[in-house]
Amino acid sequence: MPLVWVLHLGYAWLPLGLLLKAVALLTGAPFAAFWLHALTAGALATMILAVMTRASLGHTGRELRAAPATVVAYVLLAAAAVARVFGPATGADYFAVLWTAAGLWAAAFAAYLFVYAPILASARADGRPG
C-alpha cells in the first residue's frame, strides 16, 4: 500500500542522513557531503507529503487509497531526494543536478495539488460535517 510504504521510505532517510553525516565528518567523503539534504529533502519532505496525503483522505471521509498520481508524486519526491543527495558526487554538472532535483521536487508537490486541491475544496465524501 503506497500510503504505508511512503512512510517507511521517509523514515529510512533518517538513519541514512545520519550515517552520511558520520561518514562526512569522519572521512570527508564527497558522496556524503550532502547529508543534510537527506534529512530535509529526504526524511522531512517525504514525511510531509505522506502525512498530507493520508490526512487529506482521512479528514475528508474518503477511502485511504492512494491515487495513481499520488504514487507518482511519491516517486518524484524520492527521485528528487536521491538526485539532491547523491547527484553532486556523480561528477555531473552541479547546477544541472540542482535544477533536476528542484524540478522533480516541484513536480511531486504539483502532482499532490492536482489530486488533492479538488478533494480539499469539496465537501466530505461521507456527508459528515467538517
**pLDDT in the model for residue 128:** 87
- Distance, in Å, from the CA atom of 99 to the CA atom of 39, rounded to the nearest integer, reads 19
- Interval 77-91: pLDDT, tens: 999 999 999 999 999
- Interval 31-49: pLDDT, tens: 899 999 999 999 999 999 9
pTM of the model: 0.93
DSSP letter assigned to residue 13 = H
